[in-house]
Structure 1
Amino acid sequence: MKFIKKISLLPWKWKLTLGLSFCIFLTYSIFSFFEFHTVSSWLLNQEETDVKQAMEQVVQQLSVQDKDFTDEELTDNVSLLEKLNNNNQLIRVLDEDGHAILSDMNGDFPIIEPNQMYNDEQFHYISIGDQNSLVYSKEVRAPTFNGRVEIIRSLESLDKVREHLQFAMTMFAVAALIISALIGYFISYLLLKPMNSMTKTMKKIKSSGFKERMPVYPQKDEISDLTIIFNEMMDVIEQSFQQQKQFIEDASHELRTPVSVLEGHLSMLNRWGKNNQDILNESLQASTEEVARLKKLIISLLDLSKLEQNRVDPDLTPERVKWILEHTIHDFMMLHQDFNFEMKLDSLHLYKVSEQHLQQITTILLDNAVKYSLHEKNIFLHTHETDHHFVLEISDHGIGIPKEDIDKVFDRFYRVDKARSREQGGTGLGLAIAKKIVGLYKGTIEINSKAGQGTKVIVRFNL
């Protein structure tokens, strides 16, 4: 357990190196083990086959013997055994009493006595000293001779082949271990190179900001996908960070003005307004207006915060769509009696949007249309369907938006005419909130406008 714990604490480079080396070495060791035993078994079978062939030849020659063994015949049979015998092998013929009457030994190796031989006609493996031998005996029945033939074959050459084979496999195992370690180290280097690059990139990001990115590798694999996802994630984080930074700066700028106005009027009240009714009334009125502006700004900021939590509850029906739009137009007609509001509802099929969000979008767009319609005070609301989309359009004939500002009006706190917008009580968050709401439902919002001619805002929701 301690060894495994120590291994687990190693860097991944060494874990992969050791793991690959162990797997390759274990595979080679198992292959070598079976190969060694397969070759050894085959060589041993060859030895048994050679001994059995020699035995058959000797027994065949003795079985056709038609005379008793005389000295001359013994000499002839010894010559025959010499021809049939192989290297490192003993062949001897025993009579019924177990005495050797014929014998030929080709080589120098220790043997056992005739009375210690086996009589079961099976192969036996014996060890005499440090020598291994194969023993085989067979009974012979002939008209002129009854006895046994014994063959003892030295396995010294087989043992040497085994030793050489074992030594060669051991050397190959050591070489395989070294090569597998090098291969494992190289593979781990290739696999961890992107990780090391990512670590360096993260350190640079930590020290110098979000500008650094990982190099994308040309091969289309999991590591390449990881680098692409990492870079995309860093783009999103950088964009979010920049938006958060911009939001804090803009919010601080927007809050600073009303706070400064309040501070100035309170200071003036503290100095002279206690006994001066005119100064008191003026300061109280200005402070009330600034507090109202602050309240409106805080409410808008809270709306944005709630929207970022993606809490939506779609519950619309065509009847509710009609009621919300008519009710909102009616409210604006009551507040702005000098305006002419027209409405044409060609479609009411909007289901997957919250009532609150639809009313909020409509209110924001109508409020902007009223604020920036100074002379021709005609506002038109139109709903219809096109290309499987529910479309809400609100048009005015106001001051319009310059072409270079159209892409910026959805940014938080952005105003085309900052001085005029402040005078009208705008926070610069209305269109940002509207775009956020539309984005929650995967819809789109766009503006068509020309300076001095008016503006049309087009909102699309998927049906």
Structure 2
Amino acid sequence: MKMIRWHERSLRTRLTVLYVALLTLLLSGLGVLFYFDMRTFLFSTTAVRLRAQAKPVIERWLVEAPLDAAGVPSLHPIAENLARDLTSRDTTALILDSDAALLANGRRLPEEPLPAPVDPERMALALAGENEITYTVMVGDQHTMVLLIPLRPQPGHPTILGVAQLNTPLTVVDQLLWREQRLILVGSLLTILLGVAGSFWLTSSALRPLRRMTDACRRIAAGDFSERVNLPYLQSAEAKDEVIQLAGAFNDMITRIENTFAAQQRFIADAAHELRTPLTAIKGTLEVLLRGSQDDPANAKRLLRAMYSETERLSRLAEQLLDLTRLQNGIILHRTSFDLERWLREEFLPQAHLLTRDRRLELQPGGAAVVNADPDALKQVLFNLLDNAVQHTAQGEAIQIGWETTRAVVRVWVVDDGEGIPAEDLPHVFAPFYRGDRSRSRLRGGAGLGLTIVQGIVHAHGGQVHVASAPGKGTQVTFTLECVQS
């Protein structure tokens, strides 16, 4: 059977496994910590209890012990009685002298616990005066705690008369610890099972929007651009859930893709329409020529001029389409800083006068201004605007080019005295192939791409372009450029 790699498993499975693994590690760590903390507490409590029980007994017998020649209490006369008084049903006492020799064993009854063997190393430490010596050993099959108590004539006295070894089985403590182990284990298993169920529910509910997005992507890939991800609180501006925010961004992206796709379809349809008109005219002219019009020199010359005019129109349209494609793919600007007035007078106006023909071209200086722009791209912007102005300005009328400076930008405008643009057409003037009066625009040769190209170039410079117009009052197109100094 083929093994499924970790990265090939579903996201829900991976999240659940990671969650359960972390939960298991956490519970195991807490369980071990609690168990050993409980074990230490029970052991220390048992040791404190033995010391508390032994202290008054030891003090009483040491007071009653006879003194030797040096005035120190002797253990030999009281060892048996002391060991017996320290022994009970759960504790056995051994009394050893200062040489670690056994003086008395307090065990008399079979139900009393067996004493642990004497540990020489620990006994030496006790005889050296160390008070807190507690350890555990196995005596037979019983886990036993051993407590060593140095015997002194008086509390704090440096002389060690001997050692009392107390032994108590830890059966009750072991049973309690085993019970705690089972409780920790059962509790951990139940918590893990609940965690597995909870993680499945949590991951399922968290990933449900992603599954909806996946289904929506499949339907969109099949061509349904009207598909959207509908989630609760999706329209809430205060939604904090990242998946909800992702779904909202996804819907916004699909809306933009749908609009872009629709715009491309309109663009293709408009471009095909614009290309079909001159091609149809050329085809019709050729058909007339083929039917014998070439035998009439005057008629043939007129038809050839018409074809030449349509060919020029096709050439201009192809150039504008190429310019628009370059803009959509990202225009590469070659910026340089130059004086705007000098550039207009020396580079632009000599060529512009050829385009305006019998219209008057007036320059309205707005003060010294150095702009940071691409001169060739700027020339294309102005020629497109000037070409539009010429088409809508009567012979003998004026076309004005001017500018004004601010601290940050230069506002450049082109104004004509033409028939103006209706208010309902103004929001659409930058759309490709849009023309308010298509019949008259077509007669003038325009394809509706000039302002689209102007907007793309100005935006590439980081500026803005605006059209102000009214029927019968002419049109003003204004755009902004970065001002280096004024």
- 1:307 to 1:348, Cα distance in 2 relative to 1, 3 A: farther
Residue matched to 1:237: 257
CA separation in 2, counterparts of 1:185 and 1:101?
Answer: 64
1:127 matched to 2:132? The reply is: no
Return the match for 1:174 from 186, 189, 197: 189
Matched to 2:36, the amino acid is: H
Q: Is the 8 A contact 2:381 2:454 kept in 1?
A: yes
**How is 1:27-66 mapped onto 2 (pairs within 5 angstroms)?**
27-63=26-62, 64-66=64-66
SS at the partner of 1:39? helix
1:434 matched to 2:451? The reply is: no
Residue identity (%)? 25
- 1:97 to 1:373, Cα distance in 2 relative to 1, 3 A: closer
Q: Is the 8 A contact 2:430 2:451 kept in 1?
A: yes
Higher helix residue share: 1
Q: Is the 8 A contact 1:89 1:107 kept in 2?
A: no
SS at the partner of 1:269? helix
How much does 1:235 deviate? 3.0
CA separation in 2, counterparts of 1:89 and 1:31?
Answer: 34
Matched to 1:22, the amino acid is: A
SS at the partner of 1:403? coil
Q: Which moved more, 1:303-312 or 1:264-273?
A: 264-273
- 1:106 to 1:12, Cα distance in 2 relative to 1, 3 A: farther
1:209 matched to 2:224? The reply is: yes
How much does 1:278 deviate? 4.7
Q: Which moved more, 1:53-62 or 1:175-184?
A: 53-62
Cα deviations across residues 274-308 of structure 1 (Å, max 9, x unaligned)? Answer: 65545543432222222111111011111112223
TM-score for both structures, normalised by structure 2: 0.80
Q: Is the 8 A contact 1:91 1:105 kept in 2?
A: no
CA separation in 2, counterparts of 1:451 and 1:172?
Answer: 84
1:425 matched to 2:429? The reply is: no
Return the match for 1:312 from 333, 337, 356: 333
1:189 matched to 2:191? The reply is: no
Q: Is the 8 A contact 2:87 2:106 kept in 1?
A: no
How much does 1:327 deviate? 4.5
Residue matched to 1:382: 402
Q: Is the 8 A contact 1:126 1:133 kept in 2?
A: yes
Q: Is the 8 A contact 1:85 1:106 kept in 2?
A: no
- 1:397 to 1:90, Cα distance in 2 relative to 1, 3 A: same
Cα RMSD (Å): 3.4
Cα deviations across residues 254-278 of structure 1 (Å, max 9, x unaligned)? Answer: 1111122222333343443565545
CA separation in 2, counterparts of 1:408 and 1:401?
Answer: 11
Q: Is the 8 A contact 1:92 1:104 kept in 2?
A: no
SS at the partner of 1:402? coil
SS at the partner of 1:125? strand
Q: Is the 8 A contact 1:314 1:353 kept in 2?
A: yes
How much does 1:163 deviate? 0.4
Q: Is the 8 A contact 2:384 2:454 kept in 1?
A: yes
CA separation in 2, counterparts of 1:333 and 1:149?
Answer: 123
- 1:163 to 1:299, Cα distance in 2 relative to 1, 3 A: same
CA separation in 1, counterparts of 2:105 and 2:402?
Answer: 128
1:160 matched to 2:185? The reply is: no
Residue matched to 1:70: none
CA separation in 1, counterparts of 2:310 and 2:394?
Answer: 24
How much does 1:103 deviate? 3.2
Matched to 2:334, the amino acid is: D
- 1:33 to 1:444, Cα distance in 2 relative to 1, 3 A: same
SS at the partner of 2:17? helix
CA separation in 2, counterparts of 1:176 and 1:406?
Answer: 68
- 1:147 to 1:401, Cα distance in 2 relative to 1, 3 A: closer
**How is 1:250-265 mapped onto 2 (pairs within 5 angstroms)?**
250-265=270-285
How much does 1:162 deviate? 1.0
SS at the partner of 2:405? strand
CA separation in 2, counterparts of 1:7 and 1:327?
Answer: 67
SS at the partner of 1:346? coil
Matched to 1:33, the amino acid is: V
How much does 1:130 deviate? 3.2
Matched to 1:158, the amino acid is: V
Matched to 2:471, the amino acid is: A
Residue matched to 1:103: 107
SS at the partner of 2:441? helix
